[in-house]
Every structure is written in structure tokens, then in C-alpha cells.
A and B are shown apart, each in its own frame.
Chain A
Amino acid sequence: MSQDVFVIAEHLMGNLEDVTFELLGKGRELADNLDGSLVGVLLGGGVEDLNRQMGKADKVICIDHEQIAEFNPDSYSKCLMEVLKTHEPKVTLVPNTSMGMDLAAALSVDLDLPLVAYAVDASAKNGTIAVTSQLYGGKMNVESRLEGDRCIISVIAGSFSSEDGKSDNVPEVEEVSPPDSLTDLKIRFKRLIEPEAGDVDITQQDILVSVGRGIQSEDNLPVLQKLADALGGVLSASRPIVDNKWLPKTRQVGKSGLKVKPKLYLAVGISGAPEHIEGMKDAELIIAVNSDPNAPIFDYAHYGVVGDLFDVVGQLSEKLKG
């Protein structure tokens, strides 16, 4: 076993995702505290350019092969298994993203390593690893301590600064060939499906009135549309609204939706689950209306109103009209 910290890099459509840099920044701190090295692990096809961007790491271990050009839960977990088995790092940081979710738990079982998921913080003091996870839809944090020597931590995107993970250094790159086990895959990648273009691009708006499950029914959308119109903004939404098909997917804010940074984000009837927060926490001004005084959205909003959204929305529209 080593004292090293490994970061599993994530990239999509030829770019490293922000979360990779966030993990490199945090990984640097952990590795320094543990007196170990920071190692980035990159899987892909034709990814030399990406290697070079990971200068925060002391070394990048790269499997660059056309067979793994696209993410595949089966091939990627098999590749990572080999890498982690060979090097036995103390801590492996995996993004708790769509891709990372298919990897972290898989590695935990196959390598018999503990896993702490939904991490928003991690520390290594005197060799002891402690991890804070955000659970219960953002309503509770739980601090876990590692008992054994090694662990996997899956980290919620947006938990750390991505700037801390950037560096102009060029890391040493160790090229590794893909394992033989890739000949026997039970999953095949078919294609990427790009989203259909929407009527509006919510990432380009100054003002978003964002609606959540608290609006209760599709019939209530016109009231909210009216407010959005009066404010000169557009409607965006949390995931359940889109799953219910009340608004198109292009209006979804969050982890599996879009990241927005409007001048005003008015969140009505949105609880503030971590997957939603990922998409809007950098808005310049966040005002939240929610009937639950303990709704996690209030931890991120600049201004909060505890109350019935319809009362507040009605009054706002009325006054804007006058």
C-alpha cells in the first residue's frame, strides 16, 4: 500500500469536466497531508491533450486506446480495477457523477475497499481520513471516519474550487495498455444522443423563475409563467417537473440538467437537493420561497421566504403589473 491519492478524471466530448479539477485540488491537499503523491488516472482514446492539463498531479496514469474512447461502465471499471490493484493507493477520489456512480461502488466491491459516497469534504489529519457526506436531500451531513487503510470517496461535483486543481506544470505521464479483460464485455456503447435544441437557452438568461414540485400541478404553471413574464425572465425547473413533462428537458437546472448563472434565480417550491444545487449555486442572486423552514435551498439562497409560494407569487405579479 502507498500513501498516494488517486483521482479518477472525467471527460466528456473532448473536455475534462470541472469536477476533475475540483478533485485534483482537494487531492493535492490530501496527498500533501499524507506525504504521498497525487496521481491522476485518465481513460480514453486520443487523450494526450487532456493528460497535459492535469499538472496539479505528480503523475498521470493513462490508458489511451480506441476501445475505451467512450465511457462504458464495464470497460472503465475493469481498467480502473487493474490500475488500483497494481498501485494500491490510500485514497481514490471518484466524482459522484453519472459516470462516477458506475465506477465507485463497482471498485468498492471488486477490490473490497470501503466507499464513502456523496462527499462534500474530506481531510487527512495524522493519517486519519475523515469524510463529510451530504445526505437526506441536503438536510443532513454525516461525518465518517475510515477504519482500515484505504478507501474510495465519491465526491459531489461543485464541492471544491476547480481553480485549486489547475496548474501550468506538465505532469509525468505513464502510459498503460488496456487489460485483457476488455475482450469480454457485457456492455457495448452504441452512441451519444445530444439534447434537442430548446425554445430558449436558460444558460443565457439574466432572470430565471425556477419551479419545483411545490407548484403541485401543471395547472399552476401559467401563474408562474406570468410572473416570469412580468420580471422579464423565463421559467426553468427542477427535475421532477421535467420528468412529469410539464416543461421540456431544456429547462432543467442541475446535475443532469444545465448549469446556470443568472443575475436572479427565483426558486419557488424547490427543496434544494444536492443534484439541483449543483446547477444553480453560482447564480448572482438567489431568492427562495419554500413552505419548509428547513429546506436546504435556504443554505444557498441570499434571501429566503418561508411561506406559501402562491401567495408570494400572486403578490409579486400583482405589484409588477401596477
Chain B
Amino acid sequence: MNIIVPIKQVTDLVEELEVDASGKDLNREWLKYKINEFDDHALEEALCLKEESGANVMAIALDSADIEKSLYTAAAKGADKLIKVTGDFGEAIPSHVAAKALANVLESLEYDLILTGVQAADDRDGQVAVLLAHYLGLPHVSVVTGVNLQDGKAIVHKEYSGGLMGEFEVDLPGVLGIQAARQTPRYAPVSRVRQAMRSTELEEMPAGDVSVAVGTTVQRMFKPETSDGAQMIEGSAEDVANQILNILSERGLKQ
């Protein structure tokens, strides 16, 4: 069983985000990047499947700022192989371009299952999992929270709303957009990441022709208006608590 896990980095959303001079993209000068949390779940699920029934796990990512750290972290957690896809992507890579680049590289690889995050915070033109599946002509299910391998097929749980789930049987190879792994993604200490940098080979493969038409252009990026946003309560924690309790009293919400 060969499992491929495409991962990518997104800006750390706890950071303050600013628009750049063009007015169309983030000011990336001081941005901190981290692995897309849903890709981290996809990697975790792949590693769980490996531990359960044996598999080769390969993490793959498009070249971007600091991506090697995320790839070596994947190796430190248990990925067997790493691939960096090289090409002239720029900083904000549209999902269609990313999916096409991954599809090009995957054509020369052997795999049974592709697990990647269900979405990322900057997928303006759609989710990579589904795009990738259709460039490769493979079946896909997104918003997956449980994966079981049985007789060369994957039995998966797809979440709807309110805790309702659909169960599907998917022929392999297939692509699954992972929402949550069966357990909290493991953590790799820095020492193990350093060790992985020394012991794991990072193979580079060219993206090939990624000239797909995205078909839309960004006109502007802006912070959501906060005109009807919250009235802020200020003061010491004690003041704040008093004010909140007053608001609750006024509305008859205090027992």
C-alpha cells in the first residue's frame, strides 16, 4: 500500500494579516507559515493506516517558503519518502495550478491512496483534493473523518452536518479530502526533525506544464467590514466581568 500525502503551508491565522501595496494579496514580508492543519490530519491518518496494516507513506509538497521544514517534519513523524515539486509558482499558488502540478508528478509514481487536507485557508479557487482527483481521473470523497482499508477498497466516513455521516466504499486508487484524523496529529520534537533532515532524502521533481486557466482574477483583498461588529468592553478583568454581568442582568439572563 503506497499512500501519498500532498501537504502545503498556510499563513498562521493567529497572526495579524495585512494587505500589501497592490491591494490584492497579503503583505507576506513578516508572515509566519505553518502546515495546513487539515493536511496535518491527512498525514496523521496516513501514519495510522501505516501502523495498522503496513504502508509506505510519501509526503509531497510544492516548493514554497520554508516548505522543507514541513516536509522534514512529516519524515520525523514517520513519512518514508519526501518529494518537493519544483517550478516557478510565485507565492500565492492557485489551487488549480497546485493540483495540476501534483497531478503531473503523480503520473510517474505508484500509489494506491492519496490523502490530503479537505481544504486550506487560502483556496480561493477550490479545494485541491477534488481538483487533483479530477485531473487524475480518480474517485474522491471530501470531508472524511474515518478511513478503513478492506480488500483493496477504502471504506470512508464523510461528515455532513449535525453529526450525520455517510459511509462510502471507494475503489482505489482514490483521493480523500481529510477533515480529521482518527486521533490528534502527533507532534515531532525539533531534535527528531533535525535527525530527519540528515537521514531522509528529499527528492526534487519538476512540476511540468501547469498552464491551466484559473479564469478569474483578484480585484482586491480587504478585511471584512466591522461596521456592525462588536461593541468592545474594556477595563480590568474585574471591570469587564462586571460589565458583562450588567448586560446579562439587563436582558434577564442572570439567575
Contacts and interface: CB of A to CB of B under 8 A. Distances in A.
Partners in one complex: yes
Contacts of B124: 116-118, 133, 135, 142, 144
Contacts of B126: 104-105, 108, 115, 117, 154
Contact of B177 (A101, A115, A303): A101
A151 B242 contact: no
Contact of B216 (A72, A144, A318): A144
Contact of B167 (A105, A193, A243, A312): A193
Contacts of B174: 186-187
A195 B231 contact: no
A306 B95 CA distance: 34
A154 B131 CA distance: 14
B13 to A, nearest CB: 4
Contacts of B216: 114, 116, 131, 144-147, 151
B35 to A, nearest CB: 15
Interface string B113-127: 000001101111111
A226 interface: no
B220 interface: yes
B10 to A, nearest CB: 8
A307 B241 CA distance: 12
A250 B168 contact: no
A192 B164 contact: yes
B124 to A, nearest CB: 6
A35 interface: no
Interface in A279-302: 285-288, 292, 294, 296, 298-302
A92 interface: no
Contact of A12 (B123, B164, B218): B164
Contacts of A315: 237-238, 240-241
Interface residues of B, number: 85
B16 interface: yes
Given A243-B184, A315-B241, A147 B166 contact: no
Given A193-B165, A305-B233, A98 B131 contact: no
Contacts of B240: 305, 307, 312, 315
Contact of B125 (A116, A136, A141, A192): A116
Contact of A190 (B138, B159, B167, B226): B167
Interface stretch (A23-31, A38-46, A159-167, A255-263): A255-263
B238 to A, nearest CB: 5
Contacts of B13: 136-137, 139, 271
Contacts of A1: none
Given A304-B231, A306-B232, A98 B121 contact: no
Interface string A215-226: 000000000000
Interface string B124-152: 11110111011100111111000000000
A175 interface: no
User: Dominant SS at the A interface?
Assistant: mixed
B155 interface: yes
B224 to A, nearest CB: 5
B253 A192 contact: no
A5 B213 CA distance: 22
A84 B35 CA distance: 36
A250 B255 CA distance: 25
Contacts of B254: 231, 320
A311 B235 CA distance: 12
Contacts of A97: 160-161
Contacts of B253: 206-207, 231, 263-264, 285
Q: Indicate the member of B155, B164, B245 with the most A CB atoms within 10 Å.
A: B164
Contacts of A285: 247, 251, 253
A88 interface: no
A314 interface: yes
B180 interface: yes
B188 interface: no
A114 B97 CA distance: 12
B90 interface: no
Contact of A312 (B11, B179, B222, B241): B241
A292 B14 contact: yes
A113 B241 CA distance: 52
Interface string A222-239: 000000000110000001
A272 B129 CA distance: 24
A133 to B, nearest CB: 6
Contacts of B155: 190
A315 B245 CA distance: 10
A97 B177 CA distance: 13
A301 B164 contact: no
A316 B245 contact: yes
A172 interface: no
Listed from nearest, the 6 A-B pairs whose CB atoms lie closest are A114-B215, A195-B163, A304-B230, A315-B241, A109-B134, A105-B130
Interface of A: 12-13, 70-74, 97-99, 101-102, 104-106, 108-110, 112-118, 130-131, 133-148, 151, 154, 186-196, 206-207, 231-232, 239, 243-245, 249-250, 252, 255-259, 263-264, 271, 285-288, 292, 294, 296, 298-308, 311-312, 314-316, 318-320
